[in-house]
Amino acid sequence: MKKVLVTGGAGFIGSNFIKYLADMRGSWTIVNLDALTYAGNLENLKDLEGSEHYIFAKGDITDRMLVESLFETHGFDYVINFAAESHVDRSIKEPELFIKTNVLGTQCLLDAAKTSWQTGRDADGYPVYRNGVKYLQVSTDEVYGALGNTGKFTETTPLAPNSPYSASKASADMLARAYHRTYRLPVNITRCSNNYGPYQFPEKLIPLMIVNTLDSKPLPVYGDGLQVRDWLHVKDHCSAILTVLEKGQPGEVYNIGGNNERANIEIVRLILKTLGKTEDLIRHVEDRLGHDRRYAIDNTKITTELGWEPAYTFEQGIKETIEWYCTHTDWLSHVRSGAYMAYCESHYGNKSRPGGI
């Protein structure tokens, strides 16, 4: 029976992961620490309200006192850090927030884990930790920068982040690595490709294009639309994270991806076709500054060493995702009107405190 701190659990991947973990490891206690920024939506986790194994704590991962008090109260075995500012376009407009949350927040969590888990020192002066603990840093393939027409990112590809977002994630990733090398903290780092699936905020490519198509609004395609991303269903990302958490070798990095490269324009056309709309809605707009041309993940290490494999084909996953956005009209209308923020406030507003509600 493990106690797990999941940060950023009200966001897209974090909320999918909490539900996946509750299904797969029902006896574990999950504490979700989330600041509820615009990207955090507790409606994603309605199913778990009232569960004795799930606790929500509203707060910021940069808040040292809060993070330390959560460790003291709950005695976590695992930390999985999803909390981040995650949107590249926002990072181009407002880099500072990305440095604060993604870099300083990660350092705060690493420090709290180190302090809480340390039981002594070995003969060489290195900290020794309680058995069975682990810190998992959810990183991204964007830390590797951009590829040309060929090749894939492996775990040994040098980091070359190009946006303020990816630079902040690379910094966090390097901090996690350093805490393993310097303090021998049991750490894993995962670097996943682009996720899609239910509960993704409609600022990212796939949900934005679905929502605009449903409304017959223009679909803004950056530049020529021939940039390539390697898409993975969010549930496959969740199963990979649990696999790394339980089987990953401390100090190791694992790439996560499903060998599914698609050009943006191909995805936009597929969504239009599935929803029975014509390509007249496509608008080629000004390109993103510093736009990475292509990402592709070599997933050999996680598949051969840990036995993980994706379950979804893209055809099945995108079909289900489009259907999900068509049928979850309440969720979507609350997101678009901002009512999801009011939901969070009315359910948790002032009641949230360290240790959960």
20 belongs to the catalytic site: no
Measure the CA–CA gap between 265 and 282, rounded to whole angstroms.
9
Decide whether 29 or 260 has the Cβ nearer to ligand DAU.
260
54 belongs to the catalytic site: no
Pattern 251-290, ligand DAU, x by CB under 6 A: -------------x-----------------------x--
Where on the phi/psi map is residue 185: left (φ > 0), alpha (ψ -120 to 50), or beta? beta
Q: Cα 233 to chain center, whole Å?
A: 12
What is the chain's Cα-based Rg?
A: 20
Decide whether 138 or 270 has the Cβ nearer to ligand NAD.
138
Measure the CA–CA gap between 231 and 205, rounded to whole angstroms.
11
Chosen residue from 4, 18, 30, 35 binding ligand NAD by CB under 6 A: 35
Contact 335, 329 (CB under 8 A): no
Decide whether 136 or 185 has the Cβ nearer to ligand NAD.
136
**Residue 83 in contact with ligand NAD, rule: CB under 6 A:** yes
Per CB under 6 A, which of residues 48..67 are in contact with ligand NAD?
A: 60-62
What do you get for the CA distance between the two ends of the chain, in Å? Answer: 21
Measure the CA–CA gap between 123 and 135, rounded to whole angstroms.
24
Measure the CA–CA gap between 202 and 233, rounded to whole angstroms.
16
How many degrees, rounded to 5, is the angle at CA 133 between CA 106 and CA 109? 15
Pattern 113-152, ligand NAD, x by CB under 6 A: -------------------------x-x------------
**Residue 255 in contact with ligand NAD, rule: CB under 6 A:** no
- 169-196 CB burial, b ≥16 within 10 A, e <16: bbbbbbbbbebbeebbbbbbbbbbbbbb
| Cβ burial, residue 314 (10 Å; 0-12/13-18/19+) | buried
Smallest gap from Cβ 344 to ligand DAU, in A, equals 21
**Residue 207 in contact with ligand NAD, rule: CB under 6 A:** no
286 belongs to the catalytic site: no
Measure the CA–CA gap between 278 and 97, rounded to whole angstroms.
39
With CB cut-offs between 5 and 8 Å by kind, which of ligand DAU, ligand NAD, none does residue 202 bind? none
Decide whether 41 or 303 has the Cβ nearer to ligand NAD.
41
**Residue 7 in contact with ligand NAD, rule: CB under 6 A:** yes
Active-site position among 54, 135, 144, 165: 165
Decide whether 297 or 344 has the Cβ nearer to ligand DAU.
297
Contact set with ligand NAD (CB under 6 A): 7-8, 10-14, 34-37, 39-40, 60-62, 82-86, 101, 105, 138, 140, 169, 192, 194-195, 201
Contact set with ligand DAU (CB under 6 A): 86-88, 140-142, 193-194, 204-205, 208, 220-222, 227, 229, 264, 288, 295
